[in-house]
Amino acid sequence: MTATIIDGKLLAQKLRADWKLRADRLNAAGIAPGLAVILVGEDPASKVYVRNKIKACREAGIRSEEHVLAADSPLAELVALIERLNADADIHGILVQLPLPAHLAQASVIEHISPDKDVDGLHARNLGSLLAGHPHFVPCTPAGIMEMLKTTGLDLRGKEAVVVGRSNIVGKPVALLLLQAGATVTLCHSHTRDLAHHTRRADVLVCAVGKLRMIGGEMVKSGAAVIDVGMNRTSEGKLAGDVDYGAALQRAGWITPVPGGVGPMTVAMLLGNAVLAAERYAAEQGIRLDP
Ligand code: NDP
């Protein structure tokens, strides 16, 4: 069996065209959807991600502003910037690019973002709403994964879903979303004994670890939907996932490539959340949008 490739780039393009229509509607009503992106330090990968997000905003009709702070900026400076943006009526979404330098505790920084502008969906209030089953903003990568699974046409109810990795950004929220979709979910992590025992019975396998090709083909159930979130560099400097793509392609029913899979979907879902934040703001202001 050769798996169907879930093309994240193509799906992201379709979604971005939808967000653009919604952003255009907001702009026509006098609300320019505004996203503020905060970058602390000079991490080269983070700089590339921020640049891509800003470019994607421009293409989608979303106004973005970039705020760059020095790597050794004190917490108080970052918090003051976040609070200023929280109070800025022209900014509907705020994103702090992660990871932050070690002296800035990620979780406590995120808690300063207004939950109504937390387009990454990582504020404890937003994660709590997700847990309670009425999400306000869904974290971007997990939301993108669910969109990709939709394209398979699989009914997730009763399916065995195995998520490898339990971060707040990917593993835990995607496990919650799969649970809400009716799957029976197993969440694996670094203390899991016999990982292959779990992955081999997964109808849906989501890998979010960050270890090059740690999921071999023999660890994939025949016909499974495999979502590879991992982003790793090979010895030749190429981008590759947590799954041995070549081997898994021969066994899985569906598979996401790296690059061109989950990555583009994460950016697309960020734009979606930014548009949603601006639409909520318009509704609060009593501004009607053309249908
Ligand atoms: P974290 O480092 O926060 O989490 C990694 C998780 O993997 C942890 O829960 C850890 O377990 C688990 N783990 C580590 N080793 C093993 C093992 N041998 N077996 C099973 N589980 C293990 O990473 P993130 O969730 O932030 O990111 C994961 C990967 O996804 C990275 O490669 C990252 O670059 C990529 N990523 C890609 C995105 C995209 O848009 N494409 C977006 C976000 C992330 P424990 O908790 O026990 O330590």
According to the 3-state scheme, what is the secondary structure of the chain? CCCEECCHHHHHHHHHHHHHHHHHHHHHCCCCCEEEEEEECCCHHHHHHHHHHHHHHHHCCCEEEEEEECCCCCHHHHHHHHHHHHCCCCCCEEEECCCCCCCCCHHHHHCCCCCCCECCCCCHHHHHHHHHCCCCCCCHHHHHHHHHHHCCCCCCCCCEEEEECCCCCCHHHHHHHHHHCCCEEEEECCCCCCHHHHHCCCCEEEECCCCCCCECHHHCCCCCEEEECCCEECCCCCEECCECHHHHHCCCCEECCCCCCHHHHHHHHHHHHHHHHHHHHHHHCCCCCCC
Determine the average pLDDT of the residues in 207-213: 98
pLDDT (tens digit per residue) in 52-109:
999 999 999 999 999 999 999 999 999 999 999 999 999 999 999 999 999 999 999 9
User: Exposed/middle/buried for 262, CB within 10 Å: 0-12, 13-18, 19+?
Assistant: buried
What tokens appear for 208 in the block? 């979010």
Please give the single-letter amino acid code of residue 136.
H
pLDDT (tens digit per residue) in 30-52:
999 999 999 999 999 999 999 99
CB 188 near ligand 1, within 6 Å: yes
Domains 30-114 and 140-263 alike in fold: yes
Please give the single-letter amino acid code of residue 65.
E
Give domain limits for the chain: 30-114, 140-263
Contact between 205 and 165 under an 8 Å Cβ cutoff? The reply is no
**What does the alpha-carbon distance between residue 173 and residue 187 come to, in Å, rounded to a whole number?**
11
**What does the alpha-carbon distance between residue 58 and residue 271 come to, in Å, rounded to a whole number?**
10
The reply to whether CATH 3.40.50.720 applies to domain 140-263 is yes
Distance from the first to the final alpha carbon of the chain: 45
Query: What pLDDT was estimated at residue 34?
Result: 98
Query: What pLDDT was estimated at residue 290?
Result: 80
Taking the centre of ligand 1 as the mean of its atom positions, its distance from the CA of residue 102, in whole angstroms, is: 18
**What does the alpha-carbon distance between residue 277 and residue 129 come to, in Å, rounded to a whole number?**
16
Nearest to 242 by CA among 185, 163, 144, 148: 163
Taking the centre of ligand 1 as the mean of its atom positions, its distance from the CA of residue 59, in whole angstroms, is: 30
Q: How confident is the model at residue 291 (pLDDT cuts 50, 70, 90)?
A: confident
Catalytic residue among 116, 117, 118, 120: 120
Total Cβ atoms within 10 A of residue 186 = 17
**Residue 97 is a catalytic residue:** yes
The structural architecture, per CATH, of the domain 30-114 is 3-Layer(aba) Sandwich (3.40)
The mean predicted confidence, pLDDT, of the chain is 97
Taking the centre of ligand 1 as the mean of its atom positions, its distance from the CA of residue 98, in whole angstroms, is: 14
Give the range among 2-6, 13-17, 203-207, 286-290 with minimum mean pLDDT: 286-290
Determine the average pLDDT of the residues in 225-230: 98
CB 190 near ligand 1, within 6 Å: yes
**What does the alpha-carbon distance between residue 257 and residue 8 come to, in Å, rounded to a whole number?**
8
**What does the alpha-carbon distance between residue 161 and residue 7 come to, in Å, rounded to a whole number?**
21
**Residue 120 is a catalytic residue:** yes
The residue behind tokens 């081997």 is 247
Determine the average pLDDT of the residues in 210-228: 98
pLDDT (tens digit per residue) in 249-284:
999 999 999 999 999 999 999 999 999 999 999 999
Inform me whether the pLDDT recorded for 1 exceeds 80: no
Q: How confident is the model at residue 21 (pLDDT cuts 50, 70, 90)?
A: very high
- 260 sits in the region (left: phi over 0; alpha: psi -120 to 50; else beta) called left
